[in-house]
Amino acid sequence: MAKKYSSLLLFLLLLLDSLPNFNASPEYSRPPPRPAIFAGPTRSKSEPEQVHISLVGKDHMRVTWITSHKHETSIVEYGTSPGNYDKSSMTGERMSYRYFFYNSGEIHHITIGSLGPNKTYYYRCGGNGPEFSFKTPPSTFPIEFAIVGDLGQTEWTASTLEHIGSKDYDVLLLPGDLSYADTQQPLWDSFGRLVEPYASKRPWMVTHGNHEIETFPIIYRHGFRAYNSRWLMPYQQSGSTSNLYYSFDVAGCHVIMLGSYVDFDAQSDQYTWLQGDLAKVDRGVTPWIFVLVHVPWYNTNLAHKGEGESMRKSMEELLYNARVDVVFAGHVHAYERFTRVYDNKADQCGPIYMTIGDGGNREGLAMMAPSYSKEEFDPGSEGTLAKL
Ligand X SMILES: *[C@@H]1O[C@H](CO)[C@@H](O)[C@H](O)[C@H]1NC(C)=O
Site for Fe ion, rule CB under 5 A = 177, 209-210, 331, 388
Smallest gap from residue 120 Cβ to Fe ion (A)? 34
Contacted by 127, from Fe ion, ligand X, none: CB < 5 to 8 Å by type: none
Contacted by 41, from Fe ion, ligand X, none: CB < 5 to 8 Å by type: none
Smallest gap from residue 375 Cβ to ligand X (A)? 51
Smallest gap from residue 138 Cβ to ligand X (A)? 3
CB 104 within 8 A of CB 185: yes
Smallest gap from residue 139 Cβ to ligand X (A)? 7
Alpha helices, DSSP H, located in the chain: 2-7, 155-165, 186-199, 225-230, 269-280, 309-321, 374-377
Using only the alpha carbons of the chain, give its radius of gyration.
Answer: 20
In angstroms, how far is CA 235 from the centroid of its own chain?
14
Distance CA 49, CA 345 (A): 48
Phi-psi region of 370 (alpha: psi -120 to 50; beta: other; left: phi over 0): alpha
Q: Based on CB atoms, which residue is closest to ligand X, 140 or 300?
A: 140
Q: Based on CB atoms, which residue is closest to ligand X, 121 or 245?
A: 121
Q: Based on CB atoms, which residue is closest to ligand X, 127 or 138?
A: 138
Distance CA 283, CA 327 (A): 17
Smallest gap from residue 209 Cβ to Fe ion (A)? 4
Cis peptide before 26 (omega within 30 of 0): no
State which of positions 114-143 bind ligand X (CB under 6 A).
118, 138, 140, 142
Write the interaction track for ligand X spanning residues 169-208; mark x where CB under 6 A is met and - where it is not: ----------------------------------------
Contacted by 96, from ligand X, Fe ion, none: CB < 5 to 8 Å by type: none
Residue partners of 370: CB distance under 8 A and separation at least 6: 302
| Annotated catalytic residue, options 109, 304, 331, 333 | 304
Distance CA 301, CA 369 (A): 8
CB 349 within 8 A of CB 323: yes
Residue of closest CB approach to ligand X: 138
Residue of closest CB approach to Fe ion: 331
Q: Based on CB atoms, which residue is closest to Fe ion, 8 or 332?
A: 332
Write the interaction track for ligand X spanning residues 77-116; mark x where CB under 6 A is met and - where it is not: ----------------------------------------
CB 175 within 8 A of CB 145: no
Contacted by 138, from Fe ion, ligand X, none: CB < 5 to 8 Å by type: ligand X
208 is a catalytic site residue: no
Q: Shortest CA distance to 241 belongs to which of 277, 273, 214, 215?
A: 273
Smallest gap from residue 284 Cβ to Fe ion (A)? 36
Distance CA 297, CA 315 (A): 10
Contacted by 118, from ligand X, Fe ion, none: CB < 5 to 8 Å by type: ligand X
Contacted by 77, from ligand X, Fe ion, none: CB < 5 to 8 Å by type: none
Please provide the DSSP assignment of 288-303 as one string. Answer: EEEEEESS-SS--SST
Total number of residues that touch ligand X (CB under 6 A): 4
Q: Based on CB atoms, which residue is closest to ligand X, 103 or 140?
A: 140
Residue partners of 231: CB distance under 8 A and separation at least 6: 54, 64, 178, 206, 243
Q: Based on CB atoms, which residue is closest to ligand X, 80 or 159?
A: 80
Q: Which residues bind to ligand X, rule: CB under 6 A?
A: 118, 138, 140, 142
The residues annotated with a catalytic role in the active site are 304
